[in-house]
Amino acid sequence: MAEADIDDLIEIIEKESNIEDIPTCLPMMPVRDIVVFTDMLLPLFVGRKKSIKAIEESIEYDRYIFLTAQKDAELEKPTVEDVYTIGTVGRIQKMIKLPDGRIKALVQGITKAKVLEYVKTKPFFKVQIECLKDTDSRELNIEDEALMRNVKEASEKLLALKGEFS
């Protein structure tokens, strides 16, 4: 990778988006085979007409878009029931329209959010969202800690049993 490209990526990652600046109504794009996390920087190749329209619409929202995973990656035309309601607000850092009509977009995950309402579903999804605050693991209460300990112990027991049958 060229030195200029590396500098550009570092600049993109270092740009902070203020969560208060994120619109509460955004175009939504279902993504296949991936869950987009906060602070993740990834290229997306967008080919579905509905998703291309959502990307184009996001330009009017300061390049913000709500990304959520599809429950079944094989579906070509997901409906409201086919996508998760929790996802990530992303910001399109760079976008290139390809000769075949697809779009290549470099997207950075900004914050977790959940769908409150579907404002429209055609010609693309548009949703009312609520940004979710990250939970600091140091803020866990005693019940959360006990649950985590129980899951860890159960996992260790399963691994031990698996080792006995191998």
Please report, rounded to a whole number, the percentage of residues in the chain having pLDDT higher than 90: 61
What radius of gyration do the chain's Cα atoms show?
Answer: 19
Q: What was the pLDDT predicted at 104?
A: 95
User: Would you place residue 153 in the very low, low, confident or very high pLDDT band (cuts 50, 70, 90)?
Assistant: confident
Q: Which amino acid is at 69?
A: A
- How far apart are alpha carbons 166 and 148 in whole angstroms? 27
- Strand ranges inside the chain, DSSP E: 25-31, 41-46, 64-69, 86-97, 103-120, 125-131
CATH of domain 3-134: 2.30.130.40
Q: Domain-by-domain residue ranges, the chain?
A: 3-134, 135-166
Q: Which residue has the higher pLDDT, 75 or 154?
A: 75
Computed over every residue of the chain, the mean pLDDT equals: 86
Please report, rounded to a whole number, the percentage of residues in the chain having pLDDT higher than 70: 83
pLDDT, tens digit (0-9, with 9 covering 90-100), for 104-117: 999 999 999 999 99
Q: Which residue has the higher pLDDT, 9 or 102?
A: 102
User: Would you place residue 2 in the very low, low, confident or very high pLDDT band (cuts 50, 70, 90)?
Assistant: low
Indicate the range of 18-32, 67-81, 95-109, 119-133 predicted with least confidence. 18-32
123: left (phi over 0), alpha (psi -120 to 50) or beta: alpha
Q: What was the pLDDT predicted at 116?
A: 97
Across 78-107, average pLDDT: 95
